[in-house]
Amino acid sequence: MIIDIITIFPDFFTPFLETSMIRKALEKQYVKINIHNLRDHTTNKHKKIDDTPYGGGAGMLMTIQPFEAVISALKTKDSVVILLSPQGELLSQPKAIELATKTHIILLCGHYEGVDARIQAYIDMELSIGDYVLTGGEIPAMIVADAITRLIPGVLHEESAQADSLQNGLLKYPQYTKPEHYKGMAVPDVLLSGHHQQIESWRKQEQLRQTLVKRPDLLKKVKLDPESKTMLEAIKQQLKDK
């Protein structure tokens, strides 16, 4: 997969590309991430990429020309062009899974008061990382690139990725490591039993419990099997009886 990121702050991405999983994915060539300076594509002799908005208003607006130029230079029939924007679809795990199947993604980082609305003619979608406003699209671009890259086959152990929170629409079950006892808190006995079937049943139950307590909204979106439905009703009753 190739991910092209368009920004006016290319140095912002240096630590991101040199750290942890992203660095390893790049070294093993599971993904190629290119950072492009938007200013290199402007026809303005002063490398200016913003101007005042028509109709008045506060702040500066990013101009369409350099975006159109860089998109035209990079886009192929396989490309997905994404503008990072608070007006976009909220990034979700299903969306990350979908994007991880693509071969080429172009991420556009807005700034200032946004981008000239004619950008809509050149993009495939807008993505938001949450219902709040940041100073630019650089942090969202890193989040999207990270969420996608970790799902590319080979980057993570498949078992690890499949057990992640939200991968199946539910939150992840609680996990423990050594020591077995710490300040009066103990690891659940079932995890020490060596009984794999019981452990899997406990984890399934705890996924449902965690989701019900922390993110009940997710349960409205996921299709549960009969066993999970029975577990969930039992958990609801337990919580009610407390």
Of 126, 110, 108, the residue nearest 72 (C-alpha): 108
Active site includes 150?
Answer: yes
C-alpha separations of 101 from 11, 21, 97, 206, 226 in Å: 28, 19, 7, 30, 31
Catalytic-labelled residue, pool 10, 68, 113, 116: 113
Tokens at residue 230, please?
A: 């029975």
Rounded CA-CA distance 170/235 in Å is 15
Residues 2 and 34 sit within 8 Å (Cβ to Cβ): yes
Of 206, 183, 182, 180, the residue nearest 193 (C-alpha): 180
Listed in sequence order, the DSSP H helices in 150-225 are 158-162, 196-214
Rounded CA-CA distance 71/166 in Å is 32
Catalytic-labelled residue, pool 140, 150, 206, 209: 150
Active site includes 126?
Answer: no
Q: Helices 226-241 and 196-214 meet at what angle, rounded to 10?
A: 60
Catalytic-labelled residue, pool 68, 116, 126, 164: 164
Catalytic-labelled residue, pool 50, 66, 86, 140: 86
Active site includes 164?
Answer: yes
Q: Helices 20-27 and 138-149 meet at what angle, rounded to 10?
A: 60
Active site includes 116?
Answer: no
Any idea which residues carry the catalytic annotation?
Answer: 86, 113, 150, 164
